[in-house]
Amino acid sequence: MGTRGLCHWCQTAPIVGRKRKYCLEHSLQASLIWKRKHRRLWKAAGDPYWLADWKNKTPEERRAYFRAYMRAYRQKLRRGRQERHGRAA
């Protein structure tokens, strides 16, 4: 990727430490940088990468997840409405 000893992302800052790819500034964002790069590659290949975790789940596990998600979403909406009505009164 980059020249040995230089950050793989910015190509200018030196790498400090063994077995590292990024400078101190970019090492905090290493996971973000990796995900951004690979998502671009997956998108270009036409791979539905956002579904990757679901391939090992059963249909019932998916339904349970979405039920819990929507339940929490509706509760959040209800709380928001109650706060607005409470302030107006």
| pLDDT tens track for 53-74 | 888 889 999 999 999 999 999 9
Please give the pLDDT value at position 77.
Answer: 93
> Is 0.75 topped by the overall pTM?
no
Dihedral sign (CA 12, 13, 18, 22): negative
List, in sequence order, every residue forming a beta bridge with 14; answer none if it has no partner: 6
Q: How far apart are CA 12 and CA 26, in angstroms?
A: 11
Count of beta carbons in the 10 Å neighbourhood of residue 30: 14
* Alpha-helical segments (H) within 1-89: 24-27, 30-44, 59-88
Q: Is the pLDDT of residue 88 over 70?
A: no
Residue 87 binned pLDDT confidence (cut-offs 50, 70, 90) = low
Instruction: Note whether residue 63 is domain-resident.
Output: yes
Q: For the chain, how many residues are written?
A: 89
Total structural domains in the chain?
2
The amino acid at residue 85 is H
Instruction: Note whether residue 66 is domain-resident.
Output: yes
Chain centroid, CA 2 distance in Å = 25
Instruction: Note whether residue 10 is domain-resident.
Output: yes
Please give the pLDDT value at position 2.
Answer: 45
Instruction: Note whether residue 52 is domain-resident.
Output: no
38/77 same-domain check: no
Residue 89 binned pLDDT confidence (cut-offs 50, 70, 90) = very low
- pLDDT tens digits for 5-50? 888 888 888 888 788 888 888 888 888 888 899 989 988 998 887 7
Mapping DSSP to helix (H, G, I), strand (E, B) and coil, where does residue 50 land? Answer: helix
